Amino acid sequence: KNRITDETLKLLVQLAQEAGVPERRDAMFRGDKINVTENRAVLHVALRAPKKASIMVDGKNVVPDVHEVLDKMEAFCERVRSGTWKGQTGKRIRNVVNIGIGGSDLGPVMAYEALRHYSERSLTFRFVSNVDGIDFVQATHDLNPAETLFIVSSKTFTTLETMTNAQSARDWLVRGLGGNEKAVAKHFVAVSTNAEKVSAFGIDTANMFGFWDWVGGRYSMDSAIGLSTMLAVGPSKFRALLAGFHAMDEHFRTAPLEKNLPVLLGLLSVWYGGFFGAQTVAVLPYENYLKRFPAYLQQLTMESNGKSVTLDGRRVNYDTGAIYWGEPGTNGQHSFYQLIHQGSRLIPCDFIAFAHALTPLGRHHDMLLANVFAQTEALAFGKTPEQVEAEGTAKELVPHRVFEGNRPSNTILANRLTPEVLGKLVALYEHSVFTQGAIWGINSFDQWGVELGKALAQKIIPELESKTPPKLEHDSSTNSLIRRYRKMKAKA
């Protein structure tokens, strides 16, 4: 239900052609280094390519390397799930804690929640990302160290938040197992490429799962970063997830633009943002297992397309990436739908629903889907003053009960939420993001905007921890905040 005509669609497809979307797409699949600011290929599509495929980077076919890691992950997961892998005391692993941040957390968390119906229920999964200590404390407070496995996900093994949490996890484990440092090798594995630091931490590098610089963090949930996902649902269902990704990759690569789902989804976002001034997109899954999907999409979309300069460094004079947000239905209907229906801002909405419930319960699913269809109808067609008056509404209340309508939405209706469907859904949005970035002429695959704050934090940390008053050379506001914090901290 969109504000387009056949002519609109024709012109949008023409825009994609003129912006070079097909050429840039083909360059990505070829392994060209389209991430120009970091001189890297962009090949998350290789992570789910079939074993016999060939995708070249710097003259080397990377697909065999991908499947070597997948096979290693599978062998490890079978050992843990079967109970063959034992902890230091001889007990089997019953708890898995994934430590990461950004794409090393948002993807695994989302996938675990989305596929929880298929997960091994004898295993408990927790996820730690925030450097706020309560995140780690809450995740581990009821776990037995002898039965706990930590996955530390950091490509460089230097990420501040991840390694701070990893060190706290190491201390917790060693303390809980009587001070035995050798226990680390039985209770920690790494997703990293820095063998030296992994070994120094105490992890056996035989239990280090690698990935590559052509995998961006927000595109990595189907790489070794998905180790916790494979542990939860098993290797066969993880490979079904990859098959779903690949099916959408092939559709994106081969379908004509006018019938290409990721291209059309991306074009609609460009249409509403560029021509209607829409600033946000609401993603509304009517499936509680997808409750973390909007948060996952926030990184995928906004870290990718939150850019204000073009590939050649020129400042843009048009809006680029939208703000993505959302909550599962029907909860959102009792929260923010008021603004979507009657507010002054145009908010395009993506509704996601499934014909079959994974956990059928009486009339619940029909009621859930009725709300999906009702909301999209109400957004599109609204209610006129004449219709409101015909209901016997008092004249002075009529304006308050009018719905303008003409508010756009997409509805994605699949059969049921399976690993394969989840893969298709994520890849749909990945390639939609690609399409938008290509039209805007920006680099969707770097993230320099996250660097400045991290660098400043590294400077401020010793200023907060110093035993003597530090010399502060920030702006007046930041200096005052640091002094106030130090004063409050000292009183504790």
Task: Map 199-267 to HEC letters.
Answer: HHHCCCHHHEECCCCCCCHHHCCCCHHHHHHHHHHCHHHHHHHHHHHHHHHHHHHHCCHHHCHHHHHHH
Pair (299, 416) in one structural domain: yes
Q: Is residue 106 within 8 Å of 295, Cβ to Cβ?
A: yes
- Separation CA 192–CA 155 (nearest Å): 4
Per-residue 3-state assignment (H helix, E strand, C coil) for 284-353: EECCHHHCCHHHHHHHHHHHHHCCCECCCCCECCCCCCCEEECCCCCHHHHCCHHHHHHCCCCCCEEEEE
Pair (350, 409) in one structural domain: yes
Q: Which residue among 400, 415, 440 closes a domain?
A: 440
**Mutual angle of helices 261-275 and 419-440, in 10-degree steps:** 50
pTM of the prediction?
0.97
Domain count, the chain: 3
What's the count of helices (H) and strands (E) in the chain, helices before strands? 19, 11
Q: Is 424 a catalytic residue?
A: no
Q: Is residue 329 within 8 Å of 375, Cβ to Cβ?
A: yes
- Closest of 370, 131, 80 to residue 233, by C-alpha: 80
List the pLDDT tens digit at each of the 492 positions of the chain. Answer: 999 999 999 999 999 999 999 999 999 999 999 999 999 999 999 999 999 999 999 999 999 999 999 999 999 999 999 999 999 999 999 999 999 999 999 999 999 999 999 999 999 999 999 999 999 999 999 999 999 999 999 999 999 999 999 999 999 999 999 999 999 999 999 999 999 999 999 999 999 999 999 999 999 999 999 999 999 999 999 999 999 999 999 999 999 999 999 999 999 999 999 999 999 999 999 999 999 999 999 999 999 999 999 999 999 999 999 999 999 999 999 999 999 999 999 999 999 999 999 999 999 999 999 999 999 999 999 999 999 999 999 999 999 999 999 999 999 999 999 999 999 999 999 999 999 999 999 999 999 999 999 999 999 999 999 999 999 999 999 999 999 999 999 997
pLDDT at 383: 98
Query: Which residue among the candidates 60, 364, 454, 489 is catalytic per the annotation?
Result: 454
- Closest of 249, 326, 302, 335 to residue 444, by C-alpha: 302
Tally of CB atoms within 10 A around 221: 27
SS3 92: strand
pLDDT at 492: 76
Pair (215, 291) in one structural domain: no
Pair (150, 193) in one structural domain: yes
- Separation CA 206–CA 199 (nearest Å): 10
Q: Give a yes or no: residue 42 inside a domain.
A: no
- Helix residue ranges, H only, 441-475: 451-465
- Separation CA 21–CA 24 (nearest Å): 5
Please provide the size of the chain in residues. Answer: 492
- Closest of 465, 467, 466, 464 to residue 483, by C-alpha: 464
Pair (178, 266) in one structural domain: no
Pair (231, 264) in one structural domain: no
Q: Give a yes or no: residue 399 inside a domain.
A: yes
pLDDT at 437: 98
- Separation CA 82–CA 92 (nearest Å): 9
Q: Which residue among 202, 236, 270 closes a domain?
A: 236
Query: Which residue among the candidates 18, 141, 196, 334 is catalytic per the annotation?
Result: 334
Query: Which residue among the candidates 113, 287, 303, 327 is catalytic per the annotation?
Result: 303
Positive or negative torsion for Cα 45, 48, 53, 57: positive
pLDDT at 327: 97
Q: Is residue 302 within 8 Å of 323, Cβ to Cβ?
A: yes
CATH of the domain at 98: 3.40.50.10490
SS3 150: strand
Q: Give a yes or no: residue 250 inside a domain.
A: no
SS3 156: coil
Q: Which two tokens stand for residue 336?
A: 């923010």
Q: Is 334 a catalytic residue?
A: yes
pLDDT at 112: 98
Do the bridges between strand 124-128 and strand 148-153 make them parallel or antiparallel, or are there none, so unpaired? unpaired
Q: Give a yes or no: residue 44 inside a domain.
A: no
Pair (137, 68) in one structural domain: yes
Pair (430, 458) in one structural domain: no
Pair (179, 229) in one structural domain: yes
Pair (78, 190) in one structural domain: yes
Q: Is 420 a catalytic residue?
A: no
Q: Which two tokens stand for residue 55?
A: 């995708």
- Separation CA 139–CA 228 (nearest Å): 15
Q: Is residue 185 within 8 Å of 172, Cβ to Cβ?
A: no
* Domain range enclosing 110: 56-236
Q: What are phi and psi of 419, to 5 degrees?
A: -55, -40
Q: Give a yes or no: residue 354 inside a domain.
A: yes
Q: What's the one-letter identity of residue 219?
A: Y
Pair (278, 206) in one structural domain: no
Pair (198, 334) in one structural domain: no
Q: Which two tokens stand for residue 353?
A: 């629903």
- Separation CA 18–CA 24 (nearest Å): 11
Q: Give a yes or no: residue 243 inside a domain.
A: no
- Separation CA 397–CA 281 (nearest Å): 30
